[in-house]
Structures are given as C-alpha cells and as structure tokens.
Structure 1
Amino acid sequence: MMTDHARRHPRTEMIWQQLGVELTRLAEVTGGRSLDVVDLGGGSGTFAVPLAELGHRVTVVDPSPNALATLERRAADAGVAEAVRGVQADAAGLLTVIDGDSADLVLCHGVLEVVDEPRTALADVATCLRRGGACSVVAAQRHAAVIAKALAGHFADARRLIDDAHGRWGLSDPLPRRFDEIGLATLMDDAGLDVVEVHGVRVLTDLVAGSVVEDPGEAAALAELEAAAVREPAFRAVAAALHVLARRGDDGTRTVPG
C-alpha cells in the first residue's frame, strides 16, 4: 500500500489513479513481475518512492545532487532503499545512463517544459522502453496560464501567451515553453509513441485556497470534483497541465526526429 502523502494529495491524486490503471495493464503483460521504472527528472522521489513501495525497481535520473540526496533519505525512511537508485544526469544524457529496451515504464513529469530539445528527449525515452512499455508525460498547458494571467489583471501577458509560439508570457517567464494537447500529441507521435489516454491535471485545484485543500474532508470532496472534471474535454482544455499516457508499439518501431 502506498503511504506517501503525494498519493492522496488532490494535486497529484488523479495522476496516480491514471498511473494505477497502466500499472495494472503492465502487470498483466509482464506476468506480475516487478517493473523496471525510470523517473526522468524525478527529483526527490515523490513518485519513485511510492512506486518502489509497490514492489517496483525505480531509477531516478535528475541533474540535482540535492534532490537525489533527498531521494536517498526518503527511500531509506520508507524502507525501499534497495529498490531505488538515483543517477545524476539530465534529459540530454538519458541514454548514457539508461540502456535501450530496458524500462517497462518511464515517467517524464515536468521535464518537456525545460529541456533544450523536447522532441529528442521523447525519442530517447522511447528508446529506453521495452516493446509494449508505457510512458507517462505531464507537461504545463498554455491555456491555464492565459486564464491565470487574465484573472490577475495581466492582460498583455495573457495575450502574449496566446500569440507566442512556445506559450510564454515574456522574457522573464520561468518556463521556456508550454504545450497544448495537439502539440503534445504530435511530439509523442514523432517519437514513435502511441498516445492512449490524455487527462487534465489540476483543472480546479489550483483555483482553490490552500487552507481548504489541507482540510481532509474538503480535500476528499475536491478530489472527487477534480476526478469528474478531468473526464470532460471542455475542462481538460483549461487544466494547468496535461497527463499523457503513451506506449511503445509492440513491433518496436520508432520514428526518431531528425
């Protein structure tokens, strides 16, 4: 059973629910063995440690030594230190630390917004996957940022978010890029990954005061509301982020961007 608080927090609960369905499928196709998971940019282990608690082997690839030190402590505290490995590298160096055809599942959460070459990063992720393996991508969405800027009265920034090719509101924007659903799906397809599910992330929770979310009863109600909202395409279009589940084809074919 997962004990990590992140599993139950409304801002990540839906990602866990969607991952759970894919983990069940992978268990069926692998005969129930422990999965080999790569968490690219996984930092301090918010996802890695709970996955290890489920009995899987997880390698976290992250450029931050501080985050990896926290990962090591968190894994030790959870009693899964032997199942979690931290490797210091960035997305560009993924294939130098992870073998091709070696992972059943790759997490790529909050990575594509900041890497130099998102298309190359996804192609490398596809290379790491075994045939039939799955990729979980979470990426910031442009539309929610437009709404947030408009609600804050920053109308010029909101307009720039709409017009800018990379979904940025200006030179001081901390994110190099944001995505929409079509653009993200195109990137996955270019990498030879077959999109099977797309969900909204934080459709409503980012609009709710933190004090409300911390109340257990209200948090549960918000999680139920969020679960209903992410299933509706109209709400998904304004989610703060998108969660895309994709798979490497069983025939092993991949299209590597040129």
Structure 2
Amino acid sequence: MTDRTSAAAGGAGRAGSDGPARAANTARTAVVWDALSGLLEKLGRGGPLDVVDAGGGTGGAAVPLAELGHRVTVVEPSPDSLAALERRAAERGVRVRGVQGELGDLSGLFAPGSTDLVLVHNVLEYVDDPAAALGDVVGVVRPGGAVSVLAANAVAGALHRALGGHLTDARTLLGDAGGRWGETDPMPRRFTRSGLLELVERSGLTGASIRGVRVFTDLVPGQVWEGDAQAGRHLVELERAAAEHPELLGIASQLHVLAHRS
C-alpha cells in the first residue's frame, strides 16, 4: 500500500487518537480499504483509473479515491446527497463528478467497457432485481476491470437478532430466501456467502474473493470506547486479523466481494 492510499484509507493507524466516532468508523471500513488499495495498484499500475461509485451517497468512498488521483463519478438518486458530495469534495480540494440516477441507469450514462472499477456498496440490498442490476454494472466495466460489492450478511443478521433476544426473528431470518426476519424488517434483503458469490459469478465476473467486514465491531459493547484511547486502534487490528480467517465470515455484518470482468 502506498503512502497516499494508506492516508485515504481513513487514517486507520491513527484511529486510537482521533476519538471514539472516528475510531469506530475506521474499524468498520479498514478491511474494505485494505482490499481496494491492493486492487487499485493492480488495475492502475500507478496511474489514474476511471471509477464509478454506484449509490455513492455523499462521497465517503469517492472523495478519498479522488484524493488518490482517480477520476471518480458518483451515481446517486438523492439530490441532497449529491449536494453534500459536492461540498465534501470542495472542502478536500478534489473534483468528483456527481450524476443523479439509479443503478439501472448505468448503461445509459456510461459507454460499454468504459470503466476500470465500479463500487456497488450497500446497494444490492435495495434494488428490485439484484441479478439484473449487477448485470448492468458489469456492462460498463472494461475487460480486466473490476467490481467491488459490499452487502449485508444474512447469517450475521440472525446472530444480531438472537443476541437482542429476538429468537423467533432470528429463526425466521435464517429460513427466509431474502434474509429478512419479518414485514417490519428495515432491511429489504440480506445475502448469504454462497448466494452472493453465485450472484457475482452469474453476472459474468470471475476470480471472486470474499472477506468479512465488521466481524467484531458491531458486537463490541459501547462501553469499550469509554476512557480507552487505544481501543479503536486495537479494534482495527482485530478486524484486519479477522478478515484473514474465512471461518469468521458467518458473523461479519457485511460481506465484501472483489471480482473481475474477464
């Protein structure tokens, strides 16, 4: 990882000194940034890339990527989020293109095979047809380019419901094809490891790798952050270690997949 990439990864090494909120956020994102850092180096060989962040919101990922010198476009349905993205980019002194649109609009916004990397983070849970949406994504990726998918883990969802005392909900979630515990579940869809990998492979992507994100962060009691300036740094280190153990995928709140267009 280059110095610039490390800086854009959210300052993970400084998490313990930047306060509880910054530390918790870094612990939640460090594993994803570590994986993206290696991917960016391979795809770009040190040069700028054309990156699309589908559903990129206010630029939490897009702005750091732009700081690395990449050409980033955020496709986002919310005009308020796009306005916040513009402000965030301006504050950081970078340019990020913002376009109002949905995941299904990508084929009309970008030429086929014109993008090096597409981020699809926290989006597939909300689209009507994840398979069709991912197919639209793959269509704008160049041969040899890549897609990064981040999605909610159904098994972890059941674990969290059980730990909260909602045992019936947990059982329902495990048996539900969409990974939901009931009609009032705020999450429209969750994915299992096998289901997400199958979805990615059916879209035409190859060489998929998967890792767990927020394995422990969402399970650690809030009291851990009180009075311990080093807790954030230790949690980041724990999350990075957990990502190397596929046995822990089941309890990760999110699943992160990187795959390539052949």
- Give TM-score scaled by structure 1 length: 0.90
**Does structure 1 residue 55 correspond to structure 2 residue 69?**
yes
1:8-47 equivalences under 5 Å are 8=12, 9-28=26-45, 32-47=46-61
**Considering only aligned residues, what root-mean-square deviation do their CA atoms show, in Å?**
1.6
**Where does residue 220 of structure 2 map in the other structure?**
208
| 1:131 equivalent in alignment to 2:143 | yes
Q: Which amino acid aligns with 1:226?
A: E
- Give 2:190's match in structure 1, choosing from 147, 170, 178: 178
Q: Residue 213 of structure 1 contacts residue 222 of structure 1 at CA under 8 Å; is this kept in 2?
A: no
2:111 pairs with 1:104: no
CA deviation profile, 1:141-190 (whole Å, cap 9, x unmatched): 00111111111111111111011111000011111110011111111111
Equivalent of 1:220, from 225, 233, 249?
A: 233
Residue 167 (structure 1) aligned to one of 170, 179, 184: 179
* SS of 1:173 mapped into structure 2: coil
Whichever residue aligns with residue 104 of structure 2, its letter is A
Partner of 1:254: none
Pair 1:213–1:49, CA change in 2 (3 A) = farther
The corresponding residue for 1:89 is 101
Paired with 1:68 and 1:95, the residues of 2 have a C-alpha distance of 20
Structure 2 distance, partners of 1:47, 1:117, is 24
Amino acid at match of 1:53: E
Q: Tell me the residue number matched to 1:154.
A: 166
- TM-score using structure 2 length: 0.89
Distance in structure 1 (CA, Å) of the matches to 2:201 and 2:10: 30
Q: Is the 8 A contact 1:212 1:219 kept in 2?
A: no
CA contact (8 A) 1:188 1:195 kept: no
Taking the aligned partners of 1:5 and 1:227, their CA distance within structure 2 comes to 13
Q: Do the aligned partners of 2:82 and 2:100 also contact (CA within 8 Å) in 1? A: yes
Distance (whole Å) between structure 1 residues aligned to residue 193 and residue 60 of structure 2: 25
Q: Is the CA contact (8 Å cut-off) linking 1:198 and 1:243 kept in structure 2? A: yes
Q: Distance in 2 between matches of 1:50 and 1:244?
A: 20
Unpaired runs of 5+ in structure 2? 13-25
Name stretches of at least 5 consecutive residues in structure 1 with no aligned partner: 250-258
Asked whether the 8 Å contact 1:142–1:167 carries over to 2, the reply is: yes
Per-residue CA deviation, residues 30-65 of structure 1 (Å, 9 max, x unaligned), is xx3310000001000000000000000000001011
Q: Taking every aligned residue pair, what percent have the same amino acid on both sides?
A: 51
4+ aligned runs moved over 2 Å, structure 1:
1-8, 209-216
Q: Quote the offset at 1:95 in angstroms.
A: 1.3
